[in-house]
Each structure stands twice: as C-alpha cells, then as structure tokens.
Amino acid sequence: MRVAVKFAYYGKRFYGYARQPNLKTVEGEIIKTCFEKKIFREIKEARIRSSSRTDKGVSALCNIIAFNSIKDIDEIIPSITSNLTDIIPYGIAEIDEDFNIRYAKLRHYRYYLPKEDRDVDRIKENANLFIGIHDFTNFARIEDNKNPVREIRDIYVSEDKDFIIFDFYAQTFLWHQIRRIISAIIKMEKGTISKKDIMAAFEKPHIRIDYGVAPAEPLILMDIQYDNLSFKIYSKLYEECRDIEYKVRAGSKYLSF
C-alpha cells in the first residue's frame, strides 16, 4: 500500500528538510521513525518521495511525504507521532503507485517581514513586479538542468501590528526564489535599487546580479494542493500546528534585514 502523509514542522530545529548524513533533518527523522515503528523495512522498497524540500530554518504547516507501507493506513499516524519532536504528522491518504507527489497544483508560502517603519504601500507596489511569468535566474539559485522560467500566480501583501506578511502562490518555486525576491523588495523600499533594475534583471538574465537572500526563519510552507487527493485529518494534531506559526512569528520579530 502506498500512502501520502501530511505534516508540519518547526524548521529552526533542523538542518533543512532533505536527509543528510550525520545531521538532523526533517526527512531523516521521519525515515528513522518509520524504521523504528516498522512502517517499512527498506528505503528502496519504501520508494520515499517528498513534495517540497525546504532549506535550513524554513518551517512548514503542510509538507507531504509518500512511501510504501507494510502497516495498515490507520496505524501509521498514531504509530509515528510519539517518536517525533518538532514534527507533527496530521493527515494521511492512500495513493496510486504512479502518483507523483512532486506534481502539485499549487504551493503557498508565507513570509513574515518585521514591519518597523517600512513603507507598506511601496512594498505592495514593488511586490507586483514579480507576479507572472519571468526568467528568475537573478532571483533564485538555479540548479543544473532547472528551467529558470516560472510563473508566480499571486503575491498577496498584508500587515498587522508587527509584520508585513507576504503570501506567495505558484505551482513550483526555485531554490531561494522567495527569499531573494524578499531581499530585492526590501532594497527597493530602501531606495538602493529601482524598478528599472528589477526589469533589467528579468530582461537580461545572462547578466548576473545578486540582490542578496533574506533570512530563512520567517518563511513557512503553508499549503500544497492537488487535484483529486483527499486526506484524513487528525484534528487534534492539526490544532497543534498553530504553535509552529506562533514560534516563527516570535523568532522573526527581531531579525536583522
């Protein structure tokens, strides 16, 4: 039986998502726990796949891992929950063998920028420059054989007492894309770069420009959506996920940008 497990985690406690030798990572902790609880016997047989790989310091209220299980579907979440710290599995679904968990319909990330005395209207206006289809070579860390052209469907900017909150929506994101966009938006708000600089970076991607990378800790993977995939949600565990966003907000309030 192949299953997809939906879970949340507080990224500050891990050296990123993807498993790495001798380092505590989100994926590594889930795999270790599944071995201990005899959810699967071997990694090769389990065919482990993840929807998104977040960087060190980035948190998630929704990420998804898929694997083949030798246990009944109703045993998996209760079995692994007690062995995980700072990771909260809260949803599960049975999926077809050929279902590719990487091919999501939509991903939603949220970024908390300390409000301070920033010009919110100007930031909203500048964020609009990044919506649509662009070559993001100068606003991402491009991996080999990765297409730098991506479509950001929307960037919704809101505010509360302490933060300017960015909600990014796209089917896929490049490595460091959101954090580099945030850094560029901050520089535009400060007046150190202009809209013309941003448009030139889009139009001439062969001329490499580095506008920096914003801190990872204020970034949260909020949601991942698929067509025709419904999860059984463990409501009490899901409620615990709210604490993760509170921790992210608290930790981001006094960061230097």
Question: Regarding beta strands 2-9 and 59-68, do their DSSP bridges make them parallel or antiparallel, or are they unpaired?
Answer: antiparallel
Domain range summary for the chain, segments of one domain joined by +: 2-103, 106-203
Q: How far apart are CA 155 and CA 108, in angstroms?
A: 10
Indicate the DSSP class of residue 143: P
Residue 30 half-sphere exposure toward CB, CA atoms < 13 A: 29
CATH number 3.30.70.660 given to 106-203: yes
Which fold would CATH assign to domain 2-103?
Alpha-Beta Plaits (3.30.70)
Does 2-103 match 106-203 in CATH topology?
Answer: yes
Digits of tens for pLDDT over the chain (257 positions)?
Answer: 999 999 999 999 999 999 999 999 999 999 999 999 999 988 889 999 999 999 999 999 999 999 999 999 999 999 999 889 999 999 999 999 999 999 999 999 999 999 999 999 999 999 999 999 999 999 999 888 889 999 999 999 999 999 999 999 999 999 999 999 999 999 999 999 999 999 999 999 999 999 999 999 999 999 999 998 999 999 999 999 999 999 999 999 888 88
Annotated catalytic sites, by residue?
55
Q: What is the pTM of this model?
A: 0.95
- The conformational region for residue 86 under phi > 0 = left, psi -120 to 50 = alpha, else beta, is left
